[in-house]
A and B are shown apart, each in its own frame.
Chain A
Amino acid sequence: MADVAIPRAKPQMTEAGAWAQLKHNRNWLGFWFMVPAMVFLIFFLAYPLGLGIWLSFTDTRIGRVGHFIAFENYEWLWDDSIFWLSVFNTLLYTFVASAIKFGIGLYLALLLNEHMPFKAMLRAMVLIPFIVPTVLSALAFWWIFDSQFSIISWSLKHLGLINQNINFLGDTTWARICVIFANIWRGVPFVAITLLAGLQTVSPSLYEAATLDGATRWQNFRYITYPLLTPIIAVVMTFSVLFTFTDFQLIWAMTRGGPVNATHLMATLSYQRAIIAGQLGEGAAISSAMIPFLLAAIMVSWFGLQRRKWQQGESND
């Protein structure tokens, strides 16, 4: 190729203007690509969050501009037993529902990862609770747990197991069980399908190697599946906890926080105080009080369950 001279246009060595330089600056260009996302996040996330926190320091009501009152809303809440009940309810709801969702989700994922007939169909069916709009499924549960027309009471009565209807949503304990059940029903598909995706990234030859090494099925799970799944579990459970903690639709459609505030979560109480009762400042304070809990949940997953040393793509050895 040495004897073939490639004719090359002589580059124009004129001084490029500031605008021309800017046009070719990758950082400048990158900034403009980021702008749409930034605008979106600022207007729909950062601004409402900031506004909510600001409102919590004012005595704003619907239709009346509020004044800055510092921590007065929080001081009221501190002495408000219903607020503390809602905190307790939220924690109970979150922990019980998340733990059971994890258990059932992992079980389903392991089951669906096995070879079995109609696998694709079963996987699709598991997703059904997830794709039904929350309010619709909540209404369905509302009927299922209705004090007069409950299909459960009806069935148990016809089986001769009980004499009168169970007051599912009227009894404090039953009501808590019912909303937790509905939340689990709705949340399991997310956990199951995500964990299934995680399971499918585990190479089958690892199980074969472990089997030849003498591992039983339980040891296969204990020493291979579980450790390899921990990163996915961390992500899934963080999201699951966040979604459960901030749940609103299900409760509002089924019980509106009743009976006697037994199922009031922080989100529903905030809505009730702010929108129904018009006390925007107080409602905002309840909402803002959720932030430390949510941050704590994120921190736990961030520090406790962050990427393991053995994982690809990080050189923290």
Chain B
Amino acid sequence: MSSVQIRDVRKSFGNFEVLHGVTIPIEDGQFVVLVGPSGCGKSTLLRMLAGLENITSGTISIGDRVVNNVQPKERDIAMVFQNYALYPHMTVADNMGFSLKLRNASSDEINKRVKRAAEILALSPLLDRYPRQLSGGQRQRVAMGRAIVRDPQVFLFDEPLSNLDAKLRVAMRTEIKELHQRLKTTTVYVTHDQIEAMTMADKIVVMHDGIVEQMGTPLELYDKPDNQFVAGFIGSPAMNFLKGHVRVNGVATFEGPNGVKLPLKTAPANSDGRPAVYGVRPEHFTIADDGAEAEIIVVEPTGSETQVFAKVGGEQVVAVFRERHQFNPGDKVRLKPDPSLVHLFDDATGKRMNA
């Protein structure tokens, strides 16, 4: 196990720069998730960490060794690929033992370590099978087994769950997290799924267009997104954004589209009349008499909660209620955002305005 330092790393393909100076400190034993929409550079960064891509500038160190010019096999990392990259012509045991075989480990040693990893991952009965005889979840576990067997400094995961069906994905999520709690190996995990990021990470790094938008614990990102991008990316259903202006006439309010009045706890200094974006999470709406008038469009019950799509000031918003309201399309209700949980972003820069 060891820490990983990514310092001002840039990556260009020809003249096209895809990573614009990324700095991410990763502590020993941490589970870090790089999350962002496709094309944000997260996979490229992971591949640079693995040594599969060159580093254009900046440094990456594993432990206290700068690995920019270190061969992949000397970096002591193990990677789990999105398509698992299992060797189709080798049995599960051979797949898992391949790296040890290449390092000329004795067959006793290989057997012992493969067996141990197989026990951890409940793969023992499958050791003589070929990858094509395994289900998606089992293949996924073999891919992890291959990583565990090596006992590396750092685990790298490149969207490992995206080829699984929804139910299995949830199960594997827990399994990976449990595995990390058990082995405590530093892990860097790439995904585009913010729920995976939220549920698994010690630290989330939100990336967008080759820069780090924000780093922090899952709840920090949820409670205090630095900017509108992170606010919209983290949380499901996504945060509602309403454009308008801050009004301070004794009491701070937000004037939304078509003059809708929305509550603010406090207004930032000197913000009267400033154009801004009002962000409120679907789960932070309540039905209240002093709420903004809304017309219900669609109601989607999921059992545990009900998602309500409604129009506020002509803009569509989503609200989620855990209590069971009897709504019908066309109903007029009054939706009130919780003022203490409201986010305010600068209209031009997208930066967070309120504390």
Contact = CB atoms under 8 A, between A and B. Distances in A.
Chain A interface size band reads: 20 to 34
A206 B87 contact: yes
B132 A203 contact: no
B183 interface: no
B81 A208 contact: yes
A317 B146 CA distance: 23
A311 to B, nearest CB: 8
Contact of A308 (B89, B146, B150): B89
Quick one: which of A219, A310, A312 has the most chain B CB within 10 A?
A: A310
Interface string B92-109: 000000110011000000
B132 A209 contact: no
A309 B130 contact: yes
Interface stretch (A42-50, A60-68, A220-228): A220-228
Contacts of B131: 310
Given A310-B88, A312-B132, A214 B83 contact: no
B234 interface: no
B78 A212 contact: yes
B98 A205 contact: no
Contacts of A224: 87
Interface string B63-100: 00000000011000111011101011110000000110
A213 interface: yes
Given A205-B85, A206-B87, A211 B73 contact: yes
A210 B130 contact: no
A289 interface: no
Interface string A140-154: 000000000000000
B83 A205 contact: yes
B4 interface: no
B200 interface: no
A211 B46 CA distance: 15
B50 interface: yes
Interface in A278-317: 308-312, 317
Query: Interface residues of A: mostly helix, strand, loop or mixed?
Result: helix
Contacts, number: 65
A228 B90 CA distance: 10
Contacts of B98: 210, 213, 223
A63 to B, nearest CB: 59
Given A208-B52, A308-B89, A309-B130, A213 B99 contact: yes
B86 to A, nearest CB: 8
Interface string A58-90: 000000000000000000000000000000000
Given A213-B73, A214-B103, A215-B102, A208 B85 contact: yes
Interface string A224-260: 1001100000000000000000000000000000000
A16 to B, nearest CB: 45
Given A212-B72, A317-B133, A206 B85 contact: yes
Contact of A214 (B73, B82, B133): B73
Given A205-B81, A310-B88, A214 B102 contact: yes
Chain B interface size band reads: 20 to 34
A206 B83 CA distance: 10
Contacts of B85: 203, 205-206, 208-209
A203 B50 contact: no
A283 to B, nearest CB: 46
Nearest to A226: B89
Nearest to B130: A310
Interface string A194-213: 00000000010110111111
A308 B52 CA distance: 31
A215 B77 CA distance: 14
Contacts of B146: 209, 213
Contact of B77 (A212, A223, A317): A212
A136 B147 CA distance: 57
A317 B73 contact: no
A209 B133 contact: no
Contacts of A212: 50-52, 72-73, 77-79, 99
Contact of A317 (B79, B130, B150): B130
Contacts of A206: 85, 87
Nearest to B102: A214
Contacts of B88: 228, 310-311
B266 to A, nearest CB: 52
B102 A219 contact: yes
A230 to B, nearest CB: 8
Contact of A228 (B77, B89, B102, B129): B89
A139 to B, nearest CB: 45
Contacts of A213: 73, 98-99, 102, 146, 150
B160 to A, nearest CB: 12
Contacts of A203: 83, 85
12 contacts: A208-B79, A208-B85, A209-B81, A209-B87, A212-B50, A212-B72, A212-B99, A213-B146, A213-B150, A228-B89, A309-B130, A317-B133
Interface of B: 50-52, 72-73, 77-79, 81-83, 85, 87-90, 98-99, 102-103, 129-133, 146, 150
Interface of A: 203, 205-206, 208-215, 219, 223-224, 227-228, 308-312, 317
List of 7 A-B pairs having minimum Cβ-Cβ separation, nearest first? A213-B99, A214-B73, A209-B85, A205-B85, A310-B130, A214-B102, A227-B89
Given A212-B79, A310-B89, 5 more contacts: A210-B87, A211-B72, A212-B99, A214-B99, A310-B88
